[in-house]
Amino acid sequence: MNDILKNQPVYVIGIGMHRYLFPGDTPYVTLGLQAIREALKDAGLQWPQIESAVVGTAALGMATGRVMLRHLGSTGLEVEQVENASASGSTAFRLAALQVASGEHDIVLATGVDKFGDGRRAALKDGLETLSPTANIPLVKFALMARRWMRDYGLSVEDLAQVAVKNHCNAALNPYAQFQKPRTLEQVLASTKVAGDLTTLQCTPRGDGAAAVILASESAVKKLGIPRERLVRVLSSVSTSEELRLDDDGLTSMPAMVEMVRKSAHLAMQQADIEPTDLDLIELHDAFSVEELIYSEAIGVCDTGDGAKYLADGHSAIGGKCAINASGGLIAMGHPLGPTGVGQVAEIVRQIRGEADGRQHPNARTGLAHMVGLGSVAVAHVLQRA
């Protein structure tokens, strides 16, 4: 399976989005159909040409995909629905890419849609007593991780806040973003503290939204006559989960989440035959500001402990060495769960095509979309200009 995407080219030929919103009354069907119709228009396709659809959602419930897609017409296509926490959309994209690479289908839709749900997670229903009331709260976990990096690598509260400053400024240029207002360092630091040193503007909002991506085989691309300059190839796709790693003294030297990010990203790059220095773009899980610093180190664009310096030197900015979260990331573009991973892919494709008006990263050729989901799991894809 490792070489299937290498041997059987898969291309993104269409992308679409519905702006991420704060929780509201817009039905999920409205959200999803707008994104899908935009992707169909972008690809120059009609709905009956889609052979299969994989739908990622985390909070809407059973049969979301079929209920939504029948409004486009009942064509008898294959429909699958996947839930993988924050990585639901990323997993939908991966499954869609593998359907095309396997030769099962030539044109497949990967879409994500969600509305703010009740937030009830399986970890809260496992029948086991927790060590503390906050044991399964991600915010607390990452606040503690931030304190560890501050202790071990000299991070300051300003270093954490600068992630949010950069990403809010990027989102202000993104018409699909939930937040569209640039923020200063002073504003980020002055916002309400929610856990440890993390303030509200350093934490992702939850909300509603949708994203869609259409994938096609080489034969379909030729048949459709799609211009090569608009094609973005999926070079690799990897999915992993946490594993316990102990040192000789029986202690973990690196949080399992960070090691999972490192392993999944490097497997994806290995399969794509690239190095971290080849990446022009990264869209990653920055639900909390400290994550971007730590994961940029884990992915390998900078050394462990140098994430804050990499940002301060402008290397992760649009126009820097590798634009990280040019979309605004989860912190500012938003994180509706189901669409988030598909939205990451759409942003990278838009950038590689040179169509990210107002926030275009120059000479963008290769990008990594990386998502973490509770559980914990990680899904990574490498995309490159065809």
pLDDT tens digits, residue range 80-139?
999 999 999 999 999 999 999 999 999 999 999 999 875 565 555 556 666 665 556 788
Last residue of a domain, one of 217, 232, 247: 232
* Size of the chain in residues: 386
CB 289 within 8 A of CB 198: yes
- 319 secondary structure, DSSP code: T
Residues 251 and 317 in one domain: yes
Across 50-64, 138-152, 316-330, least confident range? 138-152
State whether 148 and 113 are in the same domain: no
Q: Where residue 101 sits, what CATH number does that domain have? A: 3.40.47.10
Residue 177 structure tokens: 């973003």
Task: Judge whether residue 299 has pLDDT over 70.
Answer: yes
Between 256 and 120, name the one with better pLDDT. 256
Q: What is the predicted pLDDT for the residue at 138?
A: 82
Q: Is residue 123 part of a domain?
A: no
Flag the least confident range among 65-79, 110-124, 152-166, 268-282: 110-124
- 211 is a domain residue: yes
3-state secondary structure of 289: helix
Q: How many domains does one find in the chain?
A: 2
Instruction: Average the pLDDT over 36-56 and give the result.
Output: 98
Is residue 125, in this structure, part of any structural domain at all? no
Share of the chain above pLDDT 70, in %: 92
pLDDT of the residue at 134:
55
Q: Does one domain contain both 155 and 187? A: yes
Question: Residue 247: what pLDDT?
Answer: 60
pLDDT tens profile 341-357: 999 999 999 999 999 99
- Domain for residue 127, yes or no? no
Instruction: State the pLDDT at residue 255.
Output: 84
Q: If residue 380 lies in a helix (H) or strand (E), which one and from where to where?
A: strand 377-385
321 pLDDT tier (thresholds 50, 70, 90): very high
Regarding whether 286 and 218 lie in a shared domain, the answer is: no
Do both 219 and 274 map to the same domain? no
Both 255 and 266 in one domain: the answer is yes
pLDDT of residue 136: 62
* Region 237-249 average pLDDT: 80
Q: Label residue 299 left, alpha or beta by phi (over 0 means left) and psi (-120 to 50 means alpha).
A: alpha
* Mean pLDDT of the chain, nearest integer: 93
* pLDDT score, position 248: 54
pTM over 0.85: yes
Beta strands in 218-315 (DSSP E): 232-241, 281-283
181 and 315 inside one domain: yes
* Residues 379, 339 within the same domain: yes
**Same domain assignment for residues 69 and 171:** no
Judged by phi (left if over 0) then psi (alpha if -120 to 50, else beta), residue 356 lies in beta
Mean pLDDT of 237-242: 96
Is residue 188 domain-shared with residue 317, that is, in the same domain? yes
CB 142 within 8 A of CB 203: no
Domain extent, residue 77, equals 4-118+207-232
Give the model's pLDDT for residue 139.
86
- In the block, tokens 């640039």 appear at 182
Flag whether 272 is in a domain: yes
pLDDT value for 195: 92
Residue 124 falls inside a structural domain: no
Residue 7: the pLDDT is 86
Residue 380 has pLDDT above 60, yes or no: yes
> What is the bridge-based pairing of β-strands 107-114 and 52-56?
parallel
Residue where a domain terminates, one of 232, 267, 292: 232
| In a shared domain, residues 72 and 182 | no
208-234 per-position pLDDT tens digit: 999 999 999 999 999 999 999 999 999
For the segment 172-194, what is each residue's pLDDT rounded down to a tens digit?
A: 999 999 999 999 999 999 999 99
Cβ-contact 299, 371 below 8 angstroms? no
Average pLDDT over residues 165-172: 98
266 in the same domain as 183: yes
Least confident window among 47-51, 59-63, 344-348: 59-63
Is 67 within the bounds of a domain?
Answer: yes
Q: At which of 232, 267, 297 does a domain end? A: 232
Reported as a pLDDT band with limits 50, 70 and 90, residue 141 is confident
d(CA 175, CA 358): 10
pLDDT in tens, 3-29: 789 889 999 999 999 999 999 999 999
